[in-house]
Structure 1
Amino acid sequence: MSAPASRTPGTLLIHVTVPLFRAPDGGWLLEDQACNGLRLWAQHFQRLIVTIPVETGAPPPSWVPVSRVGPDLDRIELVPLPSAWRADRFLRALPQVARQLKGAIARADRVAFAIGGLFGDWGAVGAILARRMGKPYAVWTDRVESEVTRRLATTAPRWRTRIRARLTWRPMAALERHVIRHAALGLFHGRECLDAYAPFCARPELVHDIHLKRADHISAADLAAKVARIARGDAPLRLVYVGRADPMKGPLDWVAVLGHLAQAGVAFQARWYGGGAQLADLQAEIDRLGLADRVSLPGFLADRAAVMAALREADALVFCHLTPESPRVLIEALVSGTPILGYGGAFAADLIAGHGGGVLVPVGDPAALAAAVAALARDPARLAELVQAAAADGAPFEDEAVFAHRSHLITQGLPGPRG
């Protein structure tokens, strides 16, 4: 759906953190949503330079040939960079990558960098180099990486991860603030990121990074049928979560909520879709609490259509996120007409501020969350109202609109081609 007449003149450089993989035929593989992102960026700029890390090994299931971008791929220059998240690899690769980044920055009219991390954060390196070259830049991030790392220092299941987190979260925070402080424009996905980083940014902007199309939203007919089914109140609650079983997602809190519901006599069926480091711990806790007959872990869903179907079929998304981030699954639930019930935070609260399509409780209180879910189980009419409110809160979210917004901010916030 290209519109050449509306493209901003010149070249935009973007650094993305989603990695490339080599295909057996020698071509490149990229995450399907990242391909869609490149397609959408190309709708708004004449040319793109994309600096991007390369990983080795087998790609994840959702990686597809980069040709998925479509015909606009001809206007996109990919600059592969080595993935170097370890200190020794980062230091060895730094001279070569610095040369690549300088060359890409010099060829671009506007530059924007996704940042996050410490060693191997080529986005932060690019931002520092752009400043030295006298080129204003934008930064983008979707979670407060240093805070996530700080919490891993006490919650990570492996001792090596905890030690590494203790050693790196403070310099990581310092690097984030340095890069953001000197940025001409800050694009922060979700209220959590905006609130954390706005004090350090000259021009902070709230943005969203989603890949949902209008066809992904629940239809009016399906919404009406869902509301009618839930209002009858004659079936167990259908609860769902989609994401990694990692400490920051609170999987053990999630199963604790379900344990409280079982003790309260609430009839429910719950599913957690996804892999992750704590999947075995989650299953062990399900077994310990005697929930195996009503809680299942189907695993990772590679098919996005299957993910959206699972969310549309659910009565509620129950989540226990413990760190400040902007998880897209909350938006995916809302556009599916599925209320979000979970731990409160600026991102979640902002999403449902318009119509109240969810219920939020204090972070770290599974008993309070279970009480909220149980109250809705006893009041199916109220839950049906929340389904309608969730769909209304999700209505504005689609990829064409959010990428047009971000492109406009970059065009207005960064100087363009000289002359």
Structure 2
Amino acid sequence: MPPRMMPRLIMVAPAPVIEKPGGLVTLDKKFVEGMRLHCEHWPGPFSCILRRGNEAMPFGADFRRADLCFDLKLIDAKAPLSAEMFANQDIVVLSGDSHLELLPPRLIQSLQAKVVYVVEYTLRTRLQTAALDRGRPALKRLYSKLWLFLQEIRRKRAFRAAAGLQANGYPADMAYGPLNENHLLYLDNRMTTELFATDEEMQRRRARLASGAPIRLIHSGRLEPMKGAQDLVPVALMLARAGMDFTLDIYGSGSLHDEIAAGIVQHGLSERVRLHAPVDFERELVPISRSQADIFLSCHRQSDPSCTYIESMGCGLPIAGYENLMWATLLKRSEAGWSAPMSDPEALAAQILALASRREEISDRAEKGLSFARQHEFEATFQSRMRQLVNTL
């Protein structure tokens, strides 16, 4: 196929970038790996627009722009998007979560290219996040709420005018899918085929649970109020007071780290609850989850599509968590765990405590979760998204 007949894709990505002399850029290594996948699966030239403004990057590396498999374009941090940026393109992929990328319907319809939005947060989740920011004065929080409602109007107009929509998670699909006939639901995660729990690992876990060994709980993620991390120690304390034989390993960092560490010591939980620094997902967290845990403890209060759900299920772990909209819907479809009322650590602890005498159920739900997660493994999910883009042409 002649080069110009090959479909051209351009994406505006939220990834950080640091521009350097001599044609060098610092990019997140995982981002570059993701871009390589786009280059492999898209049947034509691929470009990416990034916004300047970053000064540091924890997991970055230097790359020569000429060596990248995609054409990298840099714009200022707050630069508005224009029709000129998408000239001679066939597909434009934009983030529906960024107010800077919510184009007016007239502009969308005037483009030669087809616009496809990707979204994962709902208005409800945005409002929850804003409400948790107690450090801001009440008047500023009220202004933020009003601003979010105004952006939601822009968001829905853009989604209706777009040629397609990709919704990450059930809440986003339920909220925005009806706005666009060409919409795709996907469950984002990092579980490639080789990362899933093996049959042998599942059998060993089942045998261990049947033997009456302590139930091993695990939690990983950002230790922040919006993630419900403040409920981890209260749940563990209730289990300990009820006499349950268990351990809880917490992996993560965040503003609640010191509070959690102090709570573990204060309540005499040091022999049961261990607080660890964040570890590499593929090399450490996955092997630990597959061989040293039985249940993932989720105190997540928001309804965003945390990839932790599918990733934990893929490691053979059923989930005990609050019934936010994402987990409530995923639980109904996968039967991969248990739920408790939102923000109720006592109810969540009671749910886990009851499992001490229903160990076969833990193993059965683990198997169901693993089976469900395999249907949404990374490669298949990525290919379905690329297929939708091709079919949108």
Deviation at 1:373, TM superposition (A): 0.8
CA shift digits 1:309-360 (9 cap, x unpaired) = 2322211111121112100011110110011110124433444445522112
Deviation at 1:115, TM superposition (A): 2.5
Amino acid at match of 1:82: D
TM-score where L is the length of structure 2: 0.87
Map of 2:345 onto structure 1: 366
Answer yes or no: is 1:396 the counterpart of 2:375: yes
Trace 1:65-76 onto structure 2 (pairs within 5 A): 65=62, 73-74=68-69, 76=70
Map of 1:10 onto structure 2: 7
Flag the 1:80–1:209 CA change in 2: closer, same or farther, 3 A. Answer: farther
* Count of aligned pairs: 386
CA shift digits 1:187-215 (9 cap, x unpaired) = 00111111121233343321233332101
Distance between the aligned counterparts of 2:253 and 2:98, measured in 1? 22
Map of 1:54 onto structure 2: 52
Distance between the aligned counterparts of 1:280 and 1:25, measured in 2? 43
Aligned residue among 65, 69, 76 for 1:82: 76
Answer yes or no: is 1:301 the counterpart of 2:295: no
Flag the 1:288–1:199 CA change in 2: closer, same or farther, 3 A. Answer: farther
Distance between the aligned counterparts of 1:32 and 1:275, measured in 2? 21
Could you list the runs of 5+ residues in structure 1 that have no partner in the other structure? 84-89
Q: Is the 8 A contact 1:352 1:393 kept in 2?
A: no
**Identity within the alignment, %:** 24
Q: Name the SS for the 1:107 alignment partner.
A: coil
Answer yes or no: is 1:331 the counterpart of 2:329: no
TM-score where L is the length of structure 1: 0.82
Distance between the aligned counterparts of 1:383 and 1:363, measured in 2? 22
Deviation at 1:102, TM superposition (A): 3.1
Map of 2:247 onto structure 1: 269
Amino acid at match of 1:209: D
Aligned residue among 133, 140, 147 for 2:111: 133
Aligned residue among 234, 243, 254 for 2:232: 254
Distance between the aligned counterparts of 2:106 and 2:215, measured in 1? 51
Answer yes or no: is 1:143 the counterpart of 2:140: no
Amino acid at match of 2:211: R
Trace 1:239-250 onto structure 2 (pairs within 5 A): 239-250=217-228
Q: Is the 8 A contact 1:192 1:345 kept in 2?
A: no
Answer yes or no: is 1:152 the counterpart of 2:129: yes
Map of 1:86 onto structure 2: none
Q: Name the SS for the 2:243 alignment partner.
A: coil
Could you list the runs of 5+ residues in structure 2 that have no partner in the other structure? none
Flag the 1:272–1:129 CA change in 2: closer, same or farther, 3 A. Answer: farther
Amino acid at match of 2:237: G
Q: Name the SS for the 1:159 alignment partner.
A: coil
CA shift digits 1:204-249 (9 cap, x unpaired) = 3212333321011112222221221222122x22111111112221
Q: Is the 8 A contact 1:111 1:137 kept in 2?
A: yes
Answer yes or no: is 1:283 the counterpart of 2:261: yes
Q: Is the 8 A contact 2:92 2:114 kept in 1?
A: yes
Aligned residue among 143, 154, 172 for 1:193: 172
Map of 1:113 onto structure 2: 94
Flag the 1:383–1:56 CA change in 2: closer, same or farther, 3 A. Answer: same
Moved more, 45-54 or 127-136: 127-136
Answer yes or no: is 1:314 the counterpart of 2:312: no
Moved more, 336-345 or 278-287: 278-287
Q: Name the SS for the 2:7 alignment partner.
A: strand
Q: Is the 8 A contact 2:301 2:324 kept in 1?
A: no
Deviation at 1:27, TM superposition (A): 2.9
CA RMSD of aligned residues (A): 2.9
Trace 1:204-243 onto structure 2 (pairs within 5 A): 204-234=183-213, 236-243=214-221
Map of 1:44 onto structure 2: 41
Distance between the aligned counterparts of 2:353 and 2:390, measured in 1? 48
Amino acid at match of 2:133: A
Flag the 1:66–1:363 CA change in 2: closer, same or farther, 3 A. Answer: farther
CA shift digits 1:13-65 (9 cap, x unpaired) = 1222122245798633333432232122222221111112234222123x345
